[in-house]
Structure 1
Amino acid sequence: MTLSTDMLPDFPMPREAGCPFAPPREMMRLHAEDPVSKVRLWDGSTPWLVTRYEDQRALFGDQRLSVDTTRDGFPYHTEAFRDTTSTTPPSFLNMDDPDHARIRRMVTGPFTVKRIESLRPAIQRMTDDLIDAMLAGPNPVDLVEALALPLPSLVICEMLGVPYEDHDFFQSKSKVSLRRDVTSEEARAAAGALFAYLGEQLDKKLAEPADDLLTDFAVRMRDGDLSRLEATMLGQLLLGAGHETTANMIALGTLAFLEHPDQLAIVRDTDDPKVLASAAEEMLRYLTIVHTGQRRLALEDLEIGGQLVRAGEGVIIAAATGNWQDDVFPDPDRLDVHRDARRHMAFGFGIHQCLGQQLARLELQVVYGTLLRRVPTLRLATGLDKIPFKDDGIVYGVYELPVTW
């Protein structure tokens, strides 16, 4: 039986009150009963929602699915996202091969495990400095503004060669693109301002080269390996993704620890890097902050979990449910920092797996362990029901996290 559009569940789905870390109940129901099923988006379109881990993992590597947001039928997150991506040049995040592979090869070097690990001492110093300032300042404090947002911003600014004193500008513009309630005009204005800013930074690097990523992009632009549009969009993507997603993981993960004091105690009391690494992986699995799914478009007919998906139909890969699948991660609703959660799909999988995943891992390992060890009495300064969650965001997190000690 084919359901009418009006009978399909709306997506994204709301979380249950009092359950801020769990995937929406309706999404978990579909995962159990109808793991490849149609949902209805804001514009009335009806893409397929894929909720089972094994199907998701297969789809992430299937090049019969496109990430190209300019194709007709792509399942856009919002009207503003649709309008912005149709009027701005694509980043390599929204390119299919071979263009995606060509540009990705140019930026993989600085994000290898070895290169990222070499940043650990610097990230540790930044974290300690921010916590020093927090402890010397007012109490209570908003952890988002004191630590969660500044740390990844400092790190990505250092890597790119962007002046950190511009952080208020680029943070405010980046936030606009991740809101589901933003207008098309607001989204285009924010994207345009960031694009112009990164173009100016590239010109400065051509005039005064430095040892940073933007200089590398500028040189490749000068030599013809990257177009100016590609170099600018690449810088814009790394600047935004490099601070916004990790900031959400730091704040939301800290809240999850505060709500699970037994797991907090394990992280607070250890100096074992393997435990800290395991804790970061488990938190990535448990939260899956890209909570509105990763979007694709079928380029040809294909079968997903026994269901025929036609060419031109949209597909949403809801990794949050796959990461809570009990035959992959037993007792998935239990936060367990000793769990081997390395098979999670918080960073996606396959050729489009998150480029900055090793950097995010390192930042989470450092900040969770350092914060909980240095501020052992850390606690919420308000009730859980007063925390403003980013239910309206493409990326999940909290707008504020008032804490005291």
Structure 2
Amino acid sequence: MTHSTLNPAGTTPPELVEFPMPRASGCPFDPPPALYAEQKKGPITKVALWNGGTPWVVTHHAEQKAVLSHPAVSADISRPGYPLQAPFNGGTLSFILMDDPEHARLRRMVTAPFAIKRVEAMRPAVQKIVDDAIDAMLAGPNPVDLVEAFALPIPSLVISDLLGVPYEDHGFFQDNSKTIVRRDATAEEGAAAFANLAAYLDGLMGQKMENPGDDLLSGLVERVKSGELARSDAAQMGVLLLIAGHETTANMIALGTLALLEHPEQLDLLRDTDDPALVASAVNELLRYLNITHSGRRRVALEDFEIAGITIRAGDGIIIPNDIANRDPAVFPEPDELDIARDAKRHVAFGFGPHQCLGQPLARLELQVVYSTLYRRIPSLRLATDLENIPFKSDGSVYGVYELPVTW
């Protein structure tokens, strides 16, 4: 789709491609063809947005890392020139849309529970959650929707336990989370869903003021009591962690399973191994190959700087779609092939630089347990419909499937 109608005044060059681009029919795991075309033009090109903006899009692996770690690049959504996905409603998902030093100050308050050693200690508990979900699935109806029966409950249970959120409220927080990550939600719908979750978490923190527990929200309450953190900021941080902690991993579980079912030789390798290193490698490769953050990370330049011989001016918007960098042939030979034995550690599915995903150790752990357990325990797992009947989430900031009918 070219940008021929967004700006009738003619101030936007009509040859610019509109971002985000549609995926090719029948190729649900690959970046859009137009994004590949931009990558072939060079590491940094211009695209058009829904509002007439013309931000840069960075498509090569090395340049994405350079931009994401550059001190002249801002994640602050309120700055002029920021390449918005939709009209800005004034709300922010806590520190991910802030710059240092405030970003670093707030982020440090919640890093400890996601430290690798702390997360690794959760492996037996996560294993039990996964096994219980499989037991329930085997005892229930067949075929079943893997999203509702397995992919969504597992990370929801894990993050609920970590945060200190009652899992029985999962319907409420999942519904509001889905609205927030939907690209076609109106600004009013997104703001209302965010307000619902913030009010819910504020209420939970009120309870923890009186009866603190050994959970992340109780830790934030202590920061509020000490004056380090405003209660409203603590609630916003809770919203961020709740959404990021279940929505992204749930989509990765379902989409990863679908990709493996469509690549049976890779699924056989994973199912038959008892090597934790191959399981960890499979997780990295699926993160590289799929990359569910498909609307691109968004930034704006604070001052002029140069990358790859191109001058980016102060106020220029920048979009960094990690999915296309993960298909950069300069870094990943045969990038469009799924190969769970490849060394895919250099993928940028979790971003890069100061805003790199805080929860990645937990996401990796959950995916390792899922991918090493589900297919071994249900070796005959297969799709209960054709690939073309699967509804993909092309309308949100997080990619995945709405449902995944499976049988065995």
Q: How would you bin the TM-score normalised by the shorter chain?
A: over 0.9
- Aligned residue for 2:25? 17
Displacement of 1:3 in angstroms is 9.1
CA distance in 2, matches of 1:120, 1:329: 30
CA distance in 2, matches of 1:336, 1:244: 25
- Aligned residue for 2:7? none
Residues 5 and 46, structure 1, Cα contact 8 Å, conserved in 2: no
CA distance in 2, matches of 1:35, 1:355: 27
Is 1:124–2:127 an aligned residue pair?
A: yes
- Aligned residue for 2:4? none
- Aligned residue for 1:204? 207
Q: Which moved more, 1:378-387 or 1:70-79?
A: 70-79
Counterpart amino acid of 1:61? S
Q: Percent identity over the alignment?
A: 59
Listed as ranges, the matches of 1:350-389 within 5 Å are 350-389=353-392
Which of 47, 51, 74 is matched with 2:82 structurally? 74
- Aligned residue for 2:53? 45
Is 1:293–2:296 an aligned residue pair?
A: yes
Count of residues in Structure 1 that have an aligned counterpart in Structure 2:
399
Residues 292 and 398, structure 2, Cα contact 8 Å, conserved in 1: yes
Is 1:252–2:255 an aligned residue pair?
A: yes
Counterpart amino acid of 2:138? L
Displacement of 1:255 in angstroms is 0.1
Displacement of 1:77 in angstroms is 1.2
- Aligned residue for 1:145? 148
Residues 56 and 316, structure 2, Cα contact 8 Å, conserved in 1: yes
Q: Which moved more, 1:294-303 or 1:184-193?
A: 184-193
Residues 53 and 325, structure 1, Cα contact 8 Å, conserved in 2: yes
Counterpart amino acid of 2:399? Y
Listed as ranges, the matches of 1:24-35 within 5 Å are 24-35=32-43
Displacement of 1:35 in angstroms is 2.5
Is 1:281–2:266 an aligned residue pair?
A: no
CA distance in 2, matches of 1:213, 1:370: 28
CA distance in 1, matches of 2:121, 2:85: 36
Displacement of 1:89 in angstroms is 5.2
Residues 257 and 264, structure 1, Cα contact 8 Å, conserved in 2: yes
**TM-score normalised by L of structure 1:** 0.97
- Aligned residue for 2:311? 308
Counterpart amino acid of 2:24? E
Residues 86 and 187, structure 2, Cα contact 8 Å, conserved in 1: no
Which of 191, 196, 201 is matched with 1:193 structurally? 196
Displacement of 1:90 in angstroms is 5.3
CA distance in 2, matches of 1:205, 1:225: 17
Counterpart amino acid of 2:37? R
Counterpart amino acid of 1:101? A
Secondary structure, in 3 states, of the residue corresponding to 1:295? strand
Counterpart amino acid of 2:318? V
Is 1:109–2:130 an aligned residue pair?
A: no
Residues 12 and 52, structure 2, Cα contact 8 Å, conserved in 1: no
CA distance in 1, matches of 2:213, 2:248: 26
Structure 1 segments, 4+ long, off by >3 Å, are: 2-5
Residues 156 and 242, structure 1, Cα contact 8 Å, conserved in 2: yes
CA distance in 2, matches of 1:112, 1:341: 22
CA distance in 2, matches of 1:306, 1:231: 42
- Aligned residue for 1:328? 331
Residues 38 and 48, structure 1, Cα contact 8 Å, conserved in 2: yes
**TM-score normalised by L of structure 2:** 0.96
C-alpha RMSD of matched pairs (Å): 1.2
Residues 93 and 237, structure 2, Cα contact 8 Å, conserved in 1: no
Q: Which 5+ residue runs of structure 1 have no aligned equivalent?
A: none
CA distance in 2, matches of 1:296, 1:192: 25
Displacement of 1:327 in angstroms is 1.6
Residues 5 and 44, structure 1, Cα contact 8 Å, conserved in 2: no
CA distance in 2, matches of 1:326, 1:70: 35
Counterpart amino acid of 1:60? L
Is 1:7–2:10 an aligned residue pair?
A: no
Counterpart amino acid of 1:373? R
- Aligned residue for 1:261? 264
The CA deviation string for residues 43-72 of structure 1, in whole angstroms up to 9 with x for no partner, is 111110010111001111112110011111
Listed as ranges, the matches of 1:215-226 within 5 Å are 215-226=218-229
Residues 271 and 375, structure 2, Cα contact 8 Å, conserved in 1: yes
The CA deviation string for residues 292-315 of structure 1, in whole angstroms up to 9 with x for no partner, is 110000000111221111100100
Q: Which 5+ residue runs of structure 2 have no aligned equivalent?
A: 1-9
CA distance in 2, matches of 1:70, 1:277: 38
- Aligned residue for 1:173? 176
Counterpart amino acid of 1:130? A
Counterpart amino acid of 1:112? A
CA distance in 2, matches of 1:155, 1:351: 25
Listed as ranges, the matches of 1:233-252 within 5 Å are 233-252=236-255
Secondary structure, in 3 states, of the residue corresponding to 2:319? strand
CA distance in 1, matches of 2:118, 2:357: 16
Secondary structure, in 3 states, of the residue corresponding to 2:109? helix
CA distance in 1, matches of 2:320, 2:276: 32
